[in-house]
Structure 1
Amino acid sequence: MCGRFTLTVGLGEILERFQAEMADEWEHKPRFNAAPTQMLPVVRMDEESGTRTLTLMRWGLIPRWAKDRSIGNRLINARGETVDTKPSFRHSLRRARCIVPADGFYEWTSTSDGKKQPLRIILKGERLFAFAGLWDRWEDDEGGSVDSFTIITTRPNEKLAKVHNRMPVILHQEEEVSWLDTNIKNLDMVTALLEPYPAAEMELYPVSSLVNSPKNDQVKCIDPLC
Protein backbone atom coordinates (compact mmCIF):
# COMPACT_ATOMS: atom_id res chain seq x y z
CA MET A 1 0.00 0.00 0.00
CA CYS A 2 0.97 3.65 0.08
CA GLY A 3 -0.02 5.51 3.21
CA ARG A 4 2.56 8.31 3.42
CA PHE A 5 4.63 10.20 0.88
CA THR A 6 6.80 13.29 0.43
CA LEU A 7 6.76 16.28 -1.89
CA THR A 8 9.62 18.42 -0.66
CA VAL A 9 10.16 20.81 -3.59
CA GLY A 10 8.76 24.24 -4.36
CA LEU A 11 5.69 25.04 -6.41
CA GLY A 12 7.62 26.29 -9.43
CA GLU A 13 9.51 23.01 -9.76
CA ILE A 14 6.28 21.01 -9.62
CA LEU A 15 4.60 23.15 -12.29
CA GLU A 16 7.62 22.94 -14.57
CA ARG A 17 8.13 19.20 -14.18
CA PHE A 18 4.49 18.36 -14.92
CA GLN A 19 3.89 21.19 -17.41
CA ALA A 20 0.86 22.28 -15.40
CA GLU A 21 -0.94 25.49 -14.56
CA MET A 22 -2.51 26.47 -11.27
CA ALA A 23 -6.24 25.72 -11.31
CA ASP A 24 -6.87 27.99 -8.32
CA GLU A 25 -4.98 29.98 -5.70
CA TRP A 26 -3.54 28.24 -2.66
CA GLU A 27 -0.33 28.35 -0.65
CA HIS A 28 2.05 25.49 -1.33
CA LYS A 29 4.46 24.23 1.29
CA PRO A 30 6.88 21.30 1.11
CA ARG A 31 5.44 18.09 2.53
CA PHE A 32 7.74 15.72 4.40
CA ASN A 33 5.04 13.37 5.70
CA ALA A 34 1.86 13.68 3.62
CA ALA A 35 -0.95 11.55 5.03
CA PRO A 36 -4.52 10.45 4.18
CA THR A 37 -7.39 12.94 4.61
CA GLN A 38 -5.01 15.86 3.96
CA MET A 39 -5.39 18.29 1.05
CA LEU A 40 -2.53 17.62 -1.38
CA PRO A 41 -1.47 18.70 -4.91
CA VAL A 42 -2.84 16.68 -7.81
CA VAL A 43 -2.44 17.10 -11.58
CA ARG A 44 -5.39 16.43 -13.87
CA MET A 45 -6.26 17.26 -17.47
CA ASP A 46 -8.80 19.96 -18.23
CA GLU A 47 -10.88 18.33 -20.98
CA GLU A 48 -12.07 21.61 -22.47
CA SER A 49 -8.72 23.37 -22.76
CA GLY A 50 -6.49 20.30 -22.97
CA THR A 51 -4.13 21.79 -20.36
CA ARG A 52 -2.80 20.18 -17.23
CA THR A 53 -3.93 21.83 -14.02
CA LEU A 54 -2.56 21.56 -10.50
CA THR A 55 -5.09 21.69 -7.69
CA LEU A 56 -5.57 20.51 -4.12
CA MET A 57 -7.61 17.39 -3.41
CA ARG A 58 -8.38 15.34 -0.33
CA TRP A 59 -6.43 12.07 -0.10
CA GLY A 60 -8.97 9.25 0.21
CA LEU A 61 -11.38 8.88 -2.68
CA ILE A 62 -15.05 9.62 -2.01
CA PRO A 63 -17.10 8.11 -4.86
CA ARG A 64 -19.84 10.32 -6.26
CA TRP A 65 -22.50 7.84 -5.10
CA ALA A 66 -21.32 7.69 -1.46
CA LYS A 67 -23.84 8.59 1.24
CA ASP A 68 -21.20 10.45 3.25
CA ARG A 69 -17.53 11.33 2.99
CA SER A 70 -16.30 8.88 5.63
CA ILE A 71 -15.82 6.14 3.00
CA GLY A 72 -12.83 8.12 1.73
CA ASN A 73 -10.85 7.23 4.86
CA ARG A 74 -10.72 3.63 3.59
CA LEU A 75 -10.10 4.34 -0.10
CA ILE A 76 -6.61 5.84 0.03
CA ASN A 77 -5.37 3.13 -2.38
CA ALA A 78 -6.86 1.17 -5.28
CA ARG A 79 -5.49 -2.18 -6.44
CA GLY A 80 -4.38 -2.00 -10.05
CA GLU A 81 -5.49 -5.56 -10.72
CA THR A 82 -9.16 -4.82 -9.93
CA VAL A 83 -9.47 -1.07 -10.47
CA ASP A 84 -11.49 -1.57 -13.67
CA THR A 85 -14.17 -3.66 -11.93
CA LYS A 86 -14.60 -2.16 -8.45
CA PRO A 87 -17.64 0.16 -8.22
CA SER A 88 -15.63 2.69 -6.22
CA PHE A 89 -13.08 3.18 -8.98
CA ARG A 90 -14.30 2.10 -12.40
CA HIS A 91 -15.98 5.41 -13.26
CA SER A 92 -12.84 7.35 -12.34
CA LEU A 93 -10.65 4.97 -14.34
CA ARG A 94 -12.63 5.87 -17.44
CA ARG A 95 -13.27 9.56 -16.85
CA ALA A 96 -11.12 10.95 -14.01
CA ARG A 97 -7.52 9.83 -14.04
CA CYS A 98 -4.90 12.00 -12.37
CA ILE A 99 -1.29 11.99 -11.30
CA VAL A 100 -0.05 12.70 -7.80
CA PRO A 101 3.34 14.48 -7.69
CA ALA A 102 5.84 13.09 -5.19
CA ASP A 103 9.55 12.69 -4.59
CA GLY A 104 9.40 9.80 -2.13
CA PHE A 105 7.16 7.55 -0.05
CA TYR A 106 7.41 5.57 3.16
CA GLU A 107 7.06 1.93 4.08
CA TRP A 108 7.77 0.10 7.33
CA THR A 109 9.85 -3.06 7.75
CA SER A 110 10.13 -5.36 10.76
CA THR A 111 13.41 -5.39 12.67
CA SER A 112 15.01 -8.28 14.55
CA ASP A 113 13.60 -7.00 17.84
CA GLY A 114 10.05 -6.91 16.48
CA LYS A 115 9.84 -3.16 16.00
CA LYS A 116 8.84 -1.33 12.82
CA GLN A 117 11.52 0.65 11.03
CA PRO A 118 10.30 3.33 8.60
CA LEU A 119 12.05 3.55 5.24
CA ARG A 120 11.93 6.30 2.65
CA ILE A 121 11.83 5.12 -0.97
CA ILE A 122 13.00 7.49 -3.71
CA LEU A 123 14.05 7.43 -7.35
CA LYS A 124 17.73 7.71 -8.09
CA GLY A 125 18.71 11.33 -8.28
CA GLU A 126 15.83 12.17 -5.90
CA ARG A 127 13.83 13.34 -8.88
CA LEU A 128 10.14 14.15 -8.94
CA PHE A 129 7.78 11.42 -10.12
CA ALA A 130 4.08 10.74 -10.63
CA PHE A 131 1.89 8.26 -8.80
CA ALA A 132 -0.96 6.95 -10.95
CA GLY A 133 -4.14 8.23 -9.33
CA LEU A 134 -7.89 8.51 -9.73
CA TRP A 135 -10.16 11.30 -8.55
CA ASP A 136 -13.86 11.98 -8.14
CA ARG A 137 -16.17 14.80 -7.04
CA TRP A 138 -18.61 14.14 -4.23
CA GLU A 139 -21.50 16.52 -3.48
CA ASP A 140 -23.37 16.80 -0.22
CA ASP A 141 -27.04 17.63 0.35
CA GLU A 142 -26.25 21.31 0.90
CA GLY A 143 -24.60 21.73 -2.49
CA GLY A 144 -21.03 21.60 -1.26
CA SER A 145 -18.48 19.40 -3.01
CA VAL A 146 -15.21 17.63 -2.28
CA ASP A 147 -12.64 16.59 -4.89
CA SER A 148 -10.69 13.59 -3.63
CA PHE A 149 -8.15 11.10 -4.95
CA THR A 150 -6.68 7.65 -4.46
CA ILE A 151 -3.27 6.22 -5.36
CA ILE A 152 -3.14 3.00 -7.36
CA THR A 153 -0.95 0.15 -6.13
CA THR A 154 0.51 -2.93 -7.79
CA ARG A 155 2.72 -5.91 -6.94
CA PRO A 156 6.18 -4.90 -5.67
CA ASN A 157 9.39 -5.01 -7.66
CA GLU A 158 12.19 -7.24 -6.33
CA LYS A 159 13.64 -4.48 -4.13
CA LEU A 160 10.38 -3.51 -2.43
CA ALA A 161 9.19 -7.11 -2.13
CA LYS A 162 11.58 -7.39 0.82
CA VAL A 163 9.64 -4.63 2.55
CA HIS A 164 5.96 -4.95 1.55
CA ASN A 165 3.70 -7.00 -0.71
CA ARG A 166 2.40 -3.89 -2.53
CA MET A 167 3.89 -0.73 -3.98
CA PRO A 168 2.38 2.44 -5.49
CA VAL A 169 2.27 2.66 -9.29
CA ILE A 170 4.89 5.15 -10.45
CA LEU A 171 4.41 6.16 -14.07
CA HIS A 172 7.30 6.56 -16.45
CA GLN A 173 7.40 10.17 -17.58
CA GLU A 174 6.47 9.26 -21.15
CA GLU A 175 3.39 7.40 -19.85
CA GLU A 176 1.94 10.39 -18.04
CA VAL A 177 0.38 11.82 -21.22
CA SER A 178 -1.59 8.64 -21.88
CA TRP A 179 -2.66 8.27 -18.26
CA LEU A 180 -4.09 11.77 -18.13
CA ASP A 181 -5.79 11.56 -21.53
CA THR A 182 -9.33 10.43 -20.73
CA ASN A 183 -10.12 10.43 -24.46
CA ILE A 184 -8.35 7.07 -24.42
CA LYS A 185 -11.26 4.71 -23.76
CA ASN A 186 -9.40 1.43 -24.28
CA LEU A 187 -9.01 0.31 -20.69
CA ASP A 188 -6.56 -2.40 -21.66
CA MET A 189 -4.18 0.33 -22.83
CA VAL A 190 -4.67 2.21 -19.59
CA THR A 191 -4.33 -0.70 -17.16
CA ALA A 192 -1.22 -1.89 -19.01
CA LEU A 193 0.54 1.08 -17.43
CA LEU A 194 -0.07 -0.20 -13.90
CA GLU A 195 3.19 -2.10 -13.56
CA PRO A 196 5.94 -2.04 -10.89
CA TYR A 197 8.60 0.63 -11.43
CA PRO A 198 12.06 -0.87 -12.12
CA ALA A 199 13.93 -1.74 -8.94
CA ALA A 200 17.23 -0.59 -10.43
CA GLU A 201 15.88 2.97 -10.60
CA MET A 202 14.92 3.10 -6.91
CA GLU A 203 16.73 3.56 -3.61
CA LEU A 204 15.60 3.27 0.00
CA TYR A 205 17.03 4.26 3.35
CA PRO A 206 15.94 4.18 7.01
CA VAL A 207 14.50 7.33 8.57
CA SER A 208 13.37 8.52 11.99
CA SER A 209 10.26 7.17 13.69
CA LEU A 210 9.00 10.75 13.52
CA VAL A 211 7.12 9.70 10.38
CA ASN A 212 4.99 7.33 12.44
CA SER A 213 2.79 10.29 13.35
CA PRO A 214 1.21 12.46 10.64
CA LYS A 215 1.52 15.36 13.09
CA ASN A 216 5.22 15.40 12.27
CA ASP A 217 5.72 17.10 8.91
CA GLN A 218 9.27 18.41 9.04
CA VAL A 219 12.53 18.02 7.17
CA LYS A 220 13.88 15.68 9.89
CA CYS A 221 11.39 13.08 8.61
CA ILE A 222 13.46 12.54 5.46
CA ASP A 223 16.94 12.69 7.05
CA PRO A 224 18.77 9.35 6.80
CA LEU A 225 19.46 7.63 10.11
CA CYS A 226 23.15 7.68 10.98
Structure 2
Amino acid sequence: MCERYSLATNKQDLENRFESEMLDNFQPRYNIGPTQLLPVITSDSPRGFSHFYWGVTPEFSKNKPVSLKYINAHAETVHLKASSKSAFQRRRCIIPADGYYVWKKVGKKTKIPYRITFHDKRLFSFAGIWEEFENEAGNINHTFSLLTTEANSLHKDFGDRMPVILEREQEKIWLDKFKGTDQLLAILNGQDADAMTAFTVSQMVNQINVDSEYLIKKTSPMDQFGNYTLFG
Protein backbone atom coordinates (compact mmCIF):
# COMPACT_ATOMS: atom_id res chain seq x y z
CA MET A 1 0.00 0.00 0.00
CA CYS A 2 1.07 3.59 -0.60
CA GLU A 3 -0.51 6.06 1.83
CA ARG A 4 1.77 9.09 1.65
CA TYR A 5 4.18 10.68 -0.81
CA SER A 6 6.01 13.93 -1.58
CA LEU A 7 6.45 16.27 -4.53
CA ALA A 8 9.19 18.58 -3.30
CA THR A 9 9.87 20.48 -6.50
CA ASN A 10 8.92 23.71 -8.24
CA LYS A 11 6.49 24.47 -11.05
CA GLN A 12 9.13 24.90 -13.76
CA ASP A 13 10.91 21.62 -13.03
CA LEU A 14 7.55 19.85 -12.88
CA GLU A 15 6.50 21.22 -16.26
CA ASN A 16 9.89 20.45 -17.82
CA ARG A 17 10.02 16.88 -16.57
CA PHE A 18 6.50 15.94 -17.64
CA GLU A 19 6.20 18.23 -20.69
CA SER A 20 2.84 19.44 -19.41
CA GLU A 21 1.48 22.87 -18.51
CA MET A 22 0.56 23.77 -14.94
CA LEU A 23 -2.01 26.55 -15.05
CA ASP A 24 -2.39 26.85 -11.29
CA ASN A 25 0.23 28.00 -8.80
CA PHE A 26 2.23 25.12 -7.38
CA GLN A 27 4.09 24.91 -4.10
CA PRO A 28 6.37 22.04 -3.03
CA ARG A 29 4.56 19.33 -1.08
CA TYR A 30 6.34 17.27 1.57
CA ASN A 31 3.54 15.21 3.11
CA ILE A 32 0.81 14.35 0.62
CA GLY A 33 -2.07 12.20 1.83
CA PRO A 34 -5.43 10.75 0.75
CA THR A 35 -8.45 13.03 0.07
CA GLN A 36 -6.19 15.96 -0.88
CA LEU A 37 -6.47 17.78 -4.21
CA LEU A 38 -3.32 16.91 -6.17
CA PRO A 39 -1.73 17.29 -9.64
CA VAL A 40 -2.09 14.41 -12.09
CA ILE A 41 -1.78 13.95 -15.85
CA THR A 42 -4.56 12.03 -17.57
CA SER A 43 -4.86 10.10 -20.81
CA ASP A 44 -7.61 12.57 -21.78
CA SER A 45 -5.35 15.61 -21.36
CA PRO A 46 -1.68 14.53 -21.47
CA ARG A 47 -0.28 18.02 -22.13
CA GLY A 48 -1.72 19.69 -19.06
CA PHE A 49 -1.90 19.00 -15.34
CA SER A 50 -5.30 18.30 -13.82
CA HIS A 51 -6.10 18.41 -10.11
CA PHE A 52 -7.97 15.42 -8.68
CA TYR A 53 -8.71 14.14 -5.19
CA TRP A 54 -6.76 11.12 -3.98
CA GLY A 55 -9.27 8.42 -3.08
CA VAL A 56 -11.53 6.94 -5.71
CA THR A 57 -15.20 6.20 -5.40
CA PRO A 58 -15.99 3.54 -8.03
CA GLU A 59 -17.99 4.44 -11.09
CA PHE A 60 -20.93 2.33 -9.94
CA SER A 61 -21.15 4.05 -6.53
CA LYS A 62 -23.19 7.26 -6.73
CA ASN A 63 -23.32 10.15 -4.28
CA LYS A 64 -20.58 8.80 -2.02
CA PRO A 65 -17.78 10.80 -0.35
CA VAL A 66 -14.13 10.28 -1.25
CA SER A 67 -13.17 6.96 0.33
CA LEU A 68 -9.84 5.95 1.88
CA LYS A 69 -10.69 2.40 0.82
CA TYR A 70 -9.89 3.29 -2.77
CA ILE A 71 -6.52 5.06 -2.48
CA ASN A 72 -4.75 2.02 -4.00
CA ALA A 73 -5.60 -0.68 -6.54
CA HIS A 74 -3.72 -3.91 -7.29
CA ALA A 75 -2.05 -3.77 -10.69
CA GLU A 76 -2.46 -7.51 -11.15
CA THR A 77 -6.27 -7.31 -11.04
CA VAL A 78 -7.02 -3.70 -12.00
CA HIS A 79 -8.33 -4.83 -15.41
CA LEU A 80 -10.66 -7.40 -13.86
CA LYS A 81 -12.35 -5.89 -10.81
CA ALA A 82 -15.68 -4.08 -11.12
CA SER A 83 -14.33 -1.16 -9.09
CA SER A 84 -11.46 -0.49 -11.51
CA LYS A 85 -12.03 -2.26 -14.85
CA SER A 86 -13.69 0.67 -16.61
CA ALA A 87 -11.10 3.17 -15.37
CA PHE A 88 -8.26 0.89 -16.48
CA GLN A 89 -9.70 0.80 -19.97
CA ARG A 90 -10.63 4.48 -20.36
CA ARG A 91 -9.33 6.66 -17.51
CA ARG A 92 -5.65 6.22 -16.80
CA CYS A 93 -3.33 8.81 -15.24
CA ILE A 94 0.15 9.34 -13.88
CA ILE A 95 0.85 10.99 -10.53
CA PRO A 96 4.11 12.99 -10.22
CA ALA A 97 6.27 12.41 -7.14
CA ASP A 98 9.84 12.62 -5.93
CA GLY A 99 9.56 10.20 -3.02
CA TYR A 100 7.12 8.33 -0.81
CA TYR A 101 6.81 7.09 2.75
CA VAL A 102 6.64 3.59 4.19
CA TRP A 103 6.58 2.30 7.76
CA LYS A 104 8.66 -0.45 9.33
CA LYS A 105 7.12 -2.26 12.26
CA VAL A 106 9.43 -2.53 15.28
CA GLY A 107 7.95 -4.44 18.19
CA LYS A 108 4.22 -4.72 18.78
CA LYS A 109 3.22 -1.05 18.66
CA THR A 110 6.08 0.97 17.16
CA LYS A 111 6.32 1.85 13.48
CA ILE A 112 9.30 3.82 12.13
CA PRO A 113 8.69 5.97 9.03
CA TYR A 114 11.06 5.78 6.07
CA ARG A 115 11.25 7.79 2.88
CA ILE A 116 11.99 6.03 -0.40
CA THR A 117 13.53 7.88 -3.33
CA PHE A 118 15.81 7.16 -6.27
CA HIS A 119 19.54 7.55 -5.71
CA ASP A 120 19.65 10.33 -8.30
CA LYS A 121 16.74 12.23 -6.63
CA ARG A 122 14.82 12.34 -9.89
CA LEU A 123 11.17 13.11 -10.35
CA PHE A 124 9.08 10.11 -11.31
CA SER A 125 5.45 9.08 -11.58
CA PHE A 126 3.07 6.50 -10.16
CA ALA A 127 0.63 4.68 -12.42
CA GLY A 128 -2.96 5.53 -11.56
CA ILE A 129 -6.58 5.40 -12.61
CA TRP A 130 -9.20 8.09 -12.19
CA GLU A 131 -12.95 8.43 -11.81
CA GLU A 132 -15.61 11.09 -12.26
CA PHE A 133 -18.62 10.99 -9.97
CA GLU A 134 -21.38 13.10 -8.51
CA ASN A 135 -20.96 13.97 -4.85
CA GLU A 136 -23.65 14.46 -2.23
CA ALA A 137 -24.05 18.13 -3.18
CA GLY A 138 -24.67 17.27 -6.83
CA ASN A 139 -21.26 18.50 -7.99
CA ILE A 140 -18.85 16.54 -10.19
CA ASN A 141 -15.66 15.35 -8.48
CA HIS A 142 -12.61 13.77 -10.06
CA THR A 143 -10.61 11.33 -7.98
CA PHE A 144 -7.64 9.01 -8.52
CA SER A 145 -6.10 5.86 -7.14
CA LEU A 146 -2.48 4.63 -7.19
CA LEU A 147 -1.65 1.20 -8.53
CA THR A 148 0.50 -1.13 -6.43
CA THR A 149 2.44 -4.27 -7.28
CA GLU A 150 4.51 -6.92 -5.52
CA ALA A 151 7.27 -5.42 -3.38
CA ASN A 152 10.87 -5.52 -4.58
CA SER A 153 13.71 -6.49 -2.24
CA LEU A 154 14.04 -2.96 -0.83
CA HIS A 155 10.40 -2.99 0.28
CA LYS A 156 10.32 -6.39 1.96
CA ASP A 157 10.92 -4.87 5.40
CA PHE A 158 7.91 -2.59 4.96
CA GLY A 159 5.27 -4.89 3.48
CA ASP A 160 4.43 -7.00 0.47
CA ARG A 161 3.25 -4.17 -1.82
CA MET A 162 4.85 -1.12 -3.44
CA PRO A 163 3.53 1.56 -5.81
CA VAL A 164 3.89 1.04 -9.55
CA ILE A 165 6.56 3.53 -10.69
CA LEU A 166 6.80 4.29 -14.39
CA GLU A 167 9.81 5.19 -16.52
CA ARG A 168 9.37 7.97 -19.11
CA GLU A 169 8.66 5.62 -22.01
CA GLN A 170 6.24 3.66 -19.85
CA GLU A 171 4.39 6.87 -19.03
CA LYS A 172 3.72 7.38 -22.74
CA ILE A 173 2.33 3.87 -23.03
CA TRP A 174 0.14 4.24 -19.93
CA LEU A 175 -1.35 7.51 -21.20
CA ASP A 176 -1.90 6.21 -24.74
CA LYS A 177 -5.65 5.62 -25.09
CA PHE A 178 -5.11 3.14 -27.93
CA LYS A 179 -2.87 0.64 -26.12
CA GLY A 180 -4.29 -2.82 -25.45
CA THR A 181 -4.62 -4.63 -22.14
CA ASP A 182 -1.53 -6.80 -22.62
CA GLN A 183 0.67 -3.80 -23.46
CA LEU A 184 -0.57 -1.92 -20.41
CA LEU A 185 -0.21 -4.79 -17.95
CA ALA A 186 3.33 -5.46 -19.18
CA ILE A 187 4.61 -2.16 -17.74
CA LEU A 188 3.00 -2.48 -14.30
CA ASN A 189 5.99 -4.01 -12.54
CA GLY A 190 8.13 -3.07 -9.57
CA GLN A 191 11.21 -0.90 -9.98
CA ASP A 192 14.75 -2.23 -9.63
CA ALA A 193 15.62 -2.03 -5.94
CA ASP A 194 19.26 -1.17 -6.72
CA ALA A 195 18.18 2.20 -8.14
CA MET A 196 16.32 3.17 -4.95
CA THR A 197 17.17 4.06 -1.38
CA ALA A 198 15.27 4.13 1.92
CA PHE A 199 16.10 6.20 5.00
CA THR A 200 14.41 7.07 8.28
CA VAL A 201 12.54 10.36 8.66
CA SER A 202 10.80 12.25 11.43
CA GLN A 203 7.78 10.74 13.18
CA MET A 204 6.07 14.06 12.46
CA VAL A 205 5.25 12.70 9.01
CA ASN A 206 2.48 10.77 10.76
CA GLN A 207 0.63 14.06 11.25
CA ILE A 208 -1.04 14.86 7.95
CA ASN A 209 -1.43 18.53 8.83
CA VAL A 210 2.38 18.89 8.95
CA ASP A 211 3.78 19.72 5.51
CA SER A 212 7.30 21.03 6.04
CA GLU A 213 10.61 20.48 4.29
CA TYR A 214 12.26 18.79 7.26
CA LEU A 215 9.96 15.79 6.76
CA ILE A 216 11.94 14.65 3.72
CA LYS A 217 15.30 14.91 5.52
CA LYS A 218 17.12 11.89 6.89
CA THR A 219 16.61 11.58 10.63
CA SER A 220 18.09 9.00 12.97
CA PRO A 221 15.55 6.74 14.68
CA MET A 222 16.73 8.00 18.05
CA ASP A 223 15.76 11.57 17.13
CA GLN A 224 12.33 10.51 15.97
CA PHE A 225 11.01 9.75 19.42
CA GLY A 226 10.64 13.20 20.95
CA ASN A 227 13.52 15.42 19.93
CA TYR A 228 11.54 17.60 17.49
CA THR A 229 13.10 20.84 18.73
CA LEU A 230 15.94 20.21 16.27
CA PHE A 231 13.59 21.33 13.53
CA GLY A 232 12.18 24.43 15.15
TM-score for both structures, normalised by structure 2:
0.90
- Greater displacement, 141-150 / 212-221: 141-150
Counterpart of 2:158 in structure 1: which amino acid?
A: V
Of 95, 107, 116, the residue aligned with 2:111 is 116
2:41 to 43, 47, 57: 43
- The equivalent of 1:187 in structure 2 is 181
Among residues 199, 203, 209, which one is paired with 2:193 in the alignment? 199
Shift of 1:143: 4.6
Q: Which residue of 1 aligns with 2:215?
A: 221
1:132-171 CA-to-partner distances (Å, cap 9, x unmatched) read 0001111247652001100000000011112211000001
For 2:161, the equivalent position in structure 1 comes to 166
2:89 corresponds in structure 1 to: 94
Unaligned 5+ segments in structure 2 are: 221-232
Task: Specify the code of the residue in structure 2 equivalent to 1:14.
Answer: L
Distance 2:119 2:112 in 1: 21
Distance 1:138 1:225, change over 3 A: same
Structure 1 consecutive aligned stretches of length 4 or more whose deviation exceeds 6 Å: none
User: Is residue 130 of structure 1 aligned with residue 125 of structure 2?
Assistant: yes
Per the TM alignment, residue 65 of structure 1 is displaced from its structure 2 partner at its CA by 2.4
With normalisation by structure 1, the TM-score equals: 0.92
Q: Which residue of 2 aligns with 1:10?
A: 10
Bigger shift: 156-165 or 200-209? 156-165
Contact 2:65 2:136 in 1 (8 A): no
Q: What per-residue deviation string (whole Å, max 9, x for no partner) do you get for residues 82-138 of structure 1?
A: 101111111110111100000000000022575110000001111100100001111
Secondary structure, counterpart of 1:125 in structure 2 = coil
Matched, 1:80 2:75: yes
Q: How many residues align?
A: 220
Report what 1:27 is aligned to. Answer: 25
| Secondary structure in structure 2 of the residue aligned to 1:27 | coil
Contact kept? 1:131, 1:169, Cα under 8 Å: yes
Match of 2:229 in 1: none
Any stretches of 5+ residues in structure 1 without a counterpart? none
Q: State the match for 1:210 in structure 2.
A: 204
- Whole-angstrom distance in 2 between the partners of 1:64 and 1:89: 8
Measured after TM superposition, the shift of residue 62 of structure 1 is 2.0
CA distance in 1, matches of 2:135, 2:65: 12
> Do the aligned residues in 1 keep the contact of 2:7 with 2:99 (CA within 8 Å)?
yes
Partner of 2:230: none
CA 1:214–1:142 in structure 2 vs 1: closer, same or farther (change >3 Å)? closer
Do 1:207 and 1:225's aligned partners in 2 also have CA atoms closer than 8 Å? yes
Q: Distance in 1 between matches of 2:41 and 2:173?
A: 13
Aligned-pair identity in percent equals 36
